[in-house]
């Protein structure tokens, strides 16, 4: 049974600035601004909490931020570095659950089905601090909207739980801008028709609400009541890697086809290495000039990781396809049945998106 409080929202505190402060002790305790350069009309990506005291916030022009606090330290965005920390964070999450829905580099929803949500939330927060030397704010609730709302309530380093009872108490008085999807523009529109709080939205005439919010009116009113049925959207887990090519010209040349398989073996070995997995199954696919497809697979007890091992198997499979006297228009190679170094059986793995 899924426990009532089964959703955790984790949001890192002042992520980019906190990483810079962690890595450069002289920046600790100082106002730090990470963002686009003032000379090129950049904006603030993240301001450290020390900088926020001066009214500096994300999205503000860097130039303006530096005017508000001239002695703050400006640093350009080092996305490669933050992305790496984000991947470490993701790996920590995956020790606790397979239900991970990342919202950005420093934020994710996690689904917990075994009823230990509060304990796991505390453990994750602790692990993040121990291993990454960074603080996270954790929100826990019975749906996504409220979990996200919760993580924001006691930032930084927060741990906030919204139970059903608590939701009934706190939601009515919250300002409309705390509703998911309400930006400054819509906030103003709502104010103009006299709607300031969640309870105003709940009680509002549906016609009026629709006039301001359009199609989203129904959904937003439900949010204002603390109702949100959206499920955790688990990232697509890669189960295989494949490469294929449609030949510029149909061919009956074995050499041409084997050369493609050799190239694919190199590419797939690189992808396996990058993902730190091995594959147990190799599949060769051929499409003939009459568009019939043929494929042959081999699953081995030992896992493939080197280009050589993949190619040797692919060559053997190719021989079985018996292309003699036939023209081929497409050739492909796939590896699947992934194995992970420390967890040899059925480990789940979420691939990090590079953006």
Tell me how far, at minimum, the Cβ of 52 lies from Mg ion, in Å. 13
CB nearer to Mg ion: pick between 47 and 201:
47
333 in Cβ contact with 243 (< 8 Å): yes
Tokens of 15: 């992520």
**Strand boundaries in the chain, DSSP class E:** 7-12, 32-35, 44-47, 73-76, 99-104, 107-111, 136-141, 159-162, 240-251, 278-288, 293-304, 328-339
Pairing state of beta strands 293-304 and 278-288? antiparallel
199/80 Cα distance (integer angstroms): 43
Part in contact with Mg ion (CB under 5 A); list of ranges 17-25, 98-106, 186-194, 321-329? 98-106
Q: Is 22 exposed, middle or buried (0-12, 13-18, 19+ CB in 10 A)?
A: middle
Tokens of 294: 């043929």
> Taking CB under 5 A as the rule, does residue 73 contact Mg ion?
no
Tokens of 236: 């697509």
CB nearer to Mg ion: pick between 17 and 195:
17
> Taking CB under 5 A as the rule, does residue 12 contact Mg ion?
yes
Number of neighbouring beta carbons within 10 Å of residue 85: 21
Tell me how far, at minimum, the Cβ of 106 lies from Mg ion, in Å. 4
Residues in 329-348 at the binding interface with Mg ion, rule: CB under 5 A: none
Tell me how far, at minimum, the Cβ of 334 lies from Mg ion, in Å. 38
CB nearer to Mg ion: pick between 5 and 12:
12
> Taking CB under 5 A as the rule, does residue 314 contact Mg ion?
no
Tell me how far, at minimum, the Cβ of 132 lies from Mg ion, in Å. 13
DSSP assigned state of 38:
G
Binds Mg ion (CB under 5 A): choice among 5, 6, 8, 11: 11
Q: How many residues bind Mg ion (CB under 5 A)?
A: 4
Part in contact with Mg ion (CB under 5 A); list of ranges 103-111, 202-210, 243-251, 311-319? 103-111
**Strand boundaries in 78-187, DSSP class E:** 99-104, 107-111, 136-141, 159-162
CB nearer to Mg ion: pick between 156 and 172:
156
CB nearer to Mg ion: pick between 45 and 323:
45
Q: How many CA atoms lie within 13 A of 327 on its CB side?
A: 9
Tell me how far, at minimum, the Cβ of 18 lies from Mg ion, in Å. 9
Catalytic residue among 20, 50, 101, 107: 107
Part in contact with Mg ion (CB under 5 A); list of ranges 9-17, 84-92, 286-294, 329-337? 9-17
Tell me how far, at minimum, the Cβ of 313 lies from Mg ion, in Å. 45
> Taking CB under 5 A as the rule, does residue 85 contact Mg ion?
no
139/151 Cα distance (integer angstroms): 4
Helices (H) and strands (E) in the chain, counts: 13, 12
CB nearer to Mg ion: pick between 15 and 198:
15
Part in contact with Mg ion (CB under 5 A); list of ranges 64-72, 100-108, 232-240, 342-350? 100-108
Part in contact with Mg ion (CB under 5 A); list of ranges 13-21, 174-182, 185-193, 343-351? 13-21
Closest of 320, 286, 313 to residue 298, by C-alpha = 313
107 in active site: yes
Residues in 104-143 at the binding interface with Mg ion, rule: CB under 5 A: 106
Tokens of 177: 């801008």
Which residues of the chain form contacts with Mg ion (CB under 5 A)? Answer: 11-12, 15, 106
Q: Which residues form the catalytic set?
A: 107
């Amino acid at each position: 049974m899924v426990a009532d409080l089964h959703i955790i929202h984790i949001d890192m505190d002042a992520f980019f600035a906190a990483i810079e402060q962690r890595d450069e002790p002289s920046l600790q305790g100082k106002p730090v601004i990470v963002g686009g350069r003032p000379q090129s009309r950049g904006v603030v990506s993240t301001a450290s909490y020390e900088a926020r005291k001066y009214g500096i916030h994300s999205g503000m022009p860097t130039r303006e931020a530096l005017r508000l606090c001239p002695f703050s330290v400006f640093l350009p965005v080092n996305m490669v570095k933050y992305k790496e920390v984000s991947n470490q964070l993701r790996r920590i999450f995956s020790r606790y659950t397979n239900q991970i829905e990342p919202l950005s580099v420093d934020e994710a929803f996690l689904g917990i089905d075994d009823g230990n949500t509060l304990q796991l939330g505390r453990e994750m927060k602790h692990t993040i601090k121990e291993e990454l030397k960074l603080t996270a704010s954790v929100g826990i609730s019975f749906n996504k909207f409220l979990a996200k709302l919760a993580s924001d309530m006691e930032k930084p380093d927060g741990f906030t739980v919204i139970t059903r009872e608590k939701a009934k108490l706190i939601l009515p008085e919250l300002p409309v801008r705390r509703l998911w999807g309400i930006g400054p523009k819509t906030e103003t529109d709502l104010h103009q028709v006299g709607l300031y709080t969640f309870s105003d939205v709940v009680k509002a005439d549906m016609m009026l609400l629709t006039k301001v919010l359009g199609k989203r009116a129904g959904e937003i009113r439900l949010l204002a009541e603390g109702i949100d049925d959206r499920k955790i959207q688990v990232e697509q887990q890669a189960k295989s890697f494949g490469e294929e090519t449609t030949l510029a010209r149909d061919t009956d040349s074995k050499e041409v086809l084997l050369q493609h398989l050799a190239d694919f073996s190199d590419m797939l070995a690189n992808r396996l290495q990058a993902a730190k997995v091995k594959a147990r199954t190799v599949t060769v696919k051929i499409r003939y000039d009459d568009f019939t497809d043929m494929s042959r697979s081999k699953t081995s007890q030992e896992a493939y990781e080197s280009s050589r091992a993949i190619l040797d198997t692919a060559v053997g499979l190719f021989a079985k396809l018996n292309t003699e006297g036939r023209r081929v228009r497409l050739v492909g190679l796939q590896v699947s049945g992934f194995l992970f170094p420390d967890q040899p059986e059925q480990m789940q793995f979420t691939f990090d998106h590079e953006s």
